[in-house]
Structure 1
Amino acid sequence: MSGGVGPASDISLPKDEPSPPQNLPPKITPKQTTPLGFFTFRQLNSLAFMLVLSASGMISLQDFTVVIFSTIYIFFLSKFSFPKQSITQEQPVFNQKSKILTTYILFAAVIGLFLPILYIFEGILEGDKEGIKAAVPHVFLLASQVFMEGVSASCRFSLPIRVFVPVFYNSVRMFTLIEWLKDEFLRFGGGGEGLSRRLVVGRGLAVANFGLWSFNLFGFLLPVYLPKALQRYYGGNGTNASSSKGD
């Protein structure tokens, strides 16, 4: 799972392989088989989280609107602004074997998705609905981001479109993270040791996620991932070359 960092789907794109000899059947690789022919297990897991959280009744109409708008807008951008190029022109931005990036993605998935999900499920079991209502929008939008990153990779959208998904969702989630922080530090525990412990854990998760996703947006996506992807996209279709001739 990408954890919403952004380039996980980009670094895992399969490379072009030579065609098999005509007298042999085509080779089927694991990446070509998905549970439903289109969705991967990562996307199905994210979709399941989205449905469970939606059923909880704690997802606002505004959060649903964000998902619907992003879905429509990426198809609009892919049609009129950043059309898809050939696969050979759009190679992955980052090295597929980068241990640093892989560790970073795993760390973001644990802090940003898995631990908040456990925190929310424990709150549901303990009847602490008020304590988890501020964390639910962040997890819902992050699961939606992971799902849409998978869609943009599966449909072979252009690099700028694959960048737009994490940048857009990360930007929107900054507002939900601020609300989560405000809610955690304005409420007070009481009624036993369990709630006090949950209050400490909730505040720790809110602070950790705000710091993580602030760095991800302002320290990685915007200054690193976005420029590299745009340079790769425009450099691949000869824009730089044509502009240099005009000079």
Structure 2
Amino acid sequence: MSGVTLATGPDETTSSARKPERQQGGVGVMGSLRVIELQLVAFIMVFSASGLVPLLDLIFPALASAYLLLLSRFAFPSLGTTTSSSHEILFQGSRFFRLYMVAGTSVGLFLPLAYVLGGFARGDQHAVRSATPHLFLLSFQILTENIISGLSLFSPPIRALVPLLYTVRRIFVLIDWIQDVWINKTLPPNAQLKDVTWYWFGKGLAVANLAYFSINLFGFLIPQFLPRAFERYFRERSEVNSKLAEDKHSQAMNRTKHADKKAE
């Protein structure tokens, strides 16, 4: 989520035994986190199909996937080089960056999931309806990131555009969530302490999600992640074009030499 799979690379379980223990910790945490994410995604998809997600959000993953496939085919095709492999890490973050991603997963996935489940248990359909579209889009983003990170068919710009497109859409969904819990939802006069706690938990969670993903979009994805992907792609394309030009020049020289030998 928020580019975590594409930024830190796939879970290298098979090669972890060859890495020093100091490096295994970070990879293991992120790998385990992605496994948990995928398990939760399957659960989210089930209750998200119960009519709680608006039509626009339901069709957005299909539209985004079609657009990414078109870009992959006509604008930024895979170069088929070793360095552009899907297993190449686009952004090598520090330990603080990994903690930032883990915090984002907690704020964006785990806590909203707990909020929706709590809404089901309390019979609070307003809470369920407010948070479910965000979880639905996030689940598709996680699935798309994990699929693309394991395929060499997609170039770095396509991989970077996945979290960018979904985050932009979810910003608007989160604004709707904030409006639902801050404007449209009121606390009953005879509310008990647990009702007040639940009421403010929903408000704070909506604000925290909008704050985190806004910072992630404008502070990481646009200024750092996306330029890094395009820089790598165009550098690799330039190298490929230079290599092709050298090969053509060598072939032309060989043909010339061969013709000269025949003439002699």
TM-score, scaled relative to structure 1:
0.80
Tell me if the contact between 2:3 and 2:145 (Cα under 8 Å) persists in the aligned partners.
yes
Percent identity between matched residues is 34
Tell me if the contact between 1:78 and 1:84 (Cα under 8 Å) persists in the aligned partners.
yes
Q: How far 1:188 sits from its partner (Å)?
A: 0.9
Q: Structure 2 residue aligned with 1:189, among 170, 175, 187?
A: 187
Q: Give the aligned partner of residue 211 of structure 1.
A: 211
TM-score, scaled relative to structure 2:
0.75
Q: Give the aligned partner of residue 255 of structure 2.
A: none
Q: Give the aligned partner of residue 86 of structure 1.
A: 80
Q: Structure 2 residue aligned with 1:74, among 63, 68, 71?
A: 68
Q: Alpha carbons of 1:13 and 1:52: their partners in 2 closer, same or farther (altered >3 Å)?
A: closer
Q: Alpha carbons of 1:30 and 1:56: their partners in 2 closer, same or farther (altered >3 Å)?
A: farther
Looking at structure 2, the residues matched to 5 and 218 of structure 1 have their Cα atoms a distance apart, in angstroms, of 12
CA RMSD of aligned residues (A): 2.4
Tell me if the contact between 1:8 and 1:105 (Cα under 8 Å) persists in the aligned partners.
no
- Superposed CA deviations along residues 135-164 of structure 1, whole A, max 9, x for unmatched, are 111111111111111111122211101111
Q: Spell out the pairing of 1:17-166 with structure 2 (5 A cutoff).
A: 29=14, 41=35, 44-90=38-84, 91-95=88-92, 98-156=94-152, 157-166=154-163
AA aligned to 1:69 is L
Helix, strand or coil for the counterpart of 2:78? coil
Looking at structure 1, the residues matched to 119 and 135 of structure 2 have their Cα atoms a distance apart, in angstroms, of 14
Structure with the higher fraction of residues in helix conformation:
2
Looking at structure 2, the residues matched to 50 and 149 of structure 1 have their Cα atoms a distance apart, in angstroms, of 16
Count of paired positions: 218
Mark the runs of 5 or more structure 1 residues left unpaired by the alignment: 16-27, 32-39, 243-247
Bigger Rg, structure 1 or 2: 2
Looking at structure 2, the residues matched to 207 and 216 of structure 1 have their Cα atoms a distance apart, in angstroms, of 14
AA aligned to 1:29 is T
AA aligned to 1:79 is R
